[in-house]
Each structure stands twice: as C-alpha cells, then as structure tokens.
C-alpha cells in the first residue's frame, strides 16, 4: 500500500510531496517519536489525534484513519531521515517550529521525557533546520500550555 510513497521518499532527490503525503509523513513521524521510548500509550495516541484534528481540521473518523495509516507507514519505513526530509521539503521554514512543537507535545503526553525521545527530537530538529535553542523554546511553550 505504501510502496510508492516509500519509493518516492527514498529517491536521492525526492520531489516535493503533495499535501496529503506530507500530512501522512508528519503523522508517521509523530508515531515514530511516540514509539521511540518503547511505549505508545493512550495519552500519546490521543495527543496525536488532537494534533491531526487541530492541524488539518479533520473529523474523528478521518483522524483515526490517518493515524492508522501513519502507524502502518511508520512500521514499514526505513528511517527517520526520509520522513524528516519529506516534511522539510513540504513545510516552509517558518512553520517547522510548529512541527517541533507537535513532536514535543507527543513526547510530553505521557508526562515523562525519555533519553531516546530526547535524542530523536534533537536529531529531527537538526534535520529540519531548527536549532537546539528554538527546539527548547518550543518544548517550553508546550510544557506551559494548560
């Protein structure tokens, strides 16, 4: 099902993804971050569903379908770099901080920060062209939200 999508992501110079594919890549990256500590719990799942609904204006059934597709894609995809490259190509620089905020929201959904999650966020932020300071500020904004 995702063979063409993955093939496009693994090309040496991938073309810009259509919005629906960029959306799927971001969701798969959120799933990857949630799974990075070995626990993908209901709080993280709920946070990803909320992010999808808020970011894309999707109804409940559509967000659940997108999450199911993202979980499948994440499990089949070879590495984080290709997801990140697809997102970087699809999202304007000034909007990438919102991507980092979404990732931090998932990491913090279960109330703990794991070393694997921190390392993955550091890698992803760097690959998106977001420096450590701006990533830390994004995390702090998420931590202070009610």
32 lies in some domain: yes
5 lies in some domain: no
12 lies in some domain: no
Residue 48 is predicted with a pLDDT of 96
Residue 126 is predicted with a pLDDT of 93
Residue 20 is predicted with a pLDDT of 81
7 lies in some domain: no
State the average pLDDT over residues 91-113: 89
- The tens digit of pLDDT for each residue in 41-99 reads 999 999 999 999 999 999 999 999 999 999 998 988 777 887 787 778 778 888 889 99
4 lies in some domain: no
6 lies in some domain: no
Residue 13 is predicted with a pLDDT of 65
Short-list 46, 54, 48, CA closest to 30: 48
Residue 76 is predicted with a pLDDT of 84
State the average pLDDT over residues 92-117: 89
9 lies in some domain: no
> Token pair 């799974």 is at which residue?
35
CB burial of 114-130 (b: ≥16 within 10 Å; e: otherwise) equals eeebeebbeebbeebeb
1 lies in some domain: no
Residue 43 is predicted with a pLDDT of 93
Count of structural domains, the chain = 1
Say if residues 74 and 2 touch (Cβ distance below 8 Å): no
Could you please report the per-residue DSSP string of 69-84? HHHHHHHH---HHHHH
* Residue 56, domain CATH: 1.10.3680.10
User: Hey, what are 6's tokens?
Assistant: 């993955």
> Structural domain of residue 124, as residue ranges?
18-144
- The tens digit of pLDDT for each residue in 5-15 reads 666 666 666 66
């Amino acid at each position: 099902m995702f063979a063409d999508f993955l093939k496009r992501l693994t090309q040496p110079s991938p073309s810009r993804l259509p919005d629906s594919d960029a959306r799927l890549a971001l969701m798969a990256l959120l799933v990857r971050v949630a799974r990075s500590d070995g626990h993908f719990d209901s709080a993280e799942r709920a946070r990803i569903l909320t992010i999808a609904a808020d970011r894309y204006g999707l109804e409940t059934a559509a967000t659940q379908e997108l999450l199911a597709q993202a979980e499948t894609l994440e499990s089949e995809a070879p590495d984080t770099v290709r997801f990140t490259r697809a997102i970087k190509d699809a999202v304007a620089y000034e909007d990438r901080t919102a991507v980092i905020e979404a990732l931090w929201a998932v990491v913090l959904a279960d109330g703990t920060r794991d070393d694997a999650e921190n390392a993955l966020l550091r890698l992803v932020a760097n690959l998106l062209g977001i420096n450590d300071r701006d990533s830390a500020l994004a995390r702090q904004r998420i931590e202070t939200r009610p």
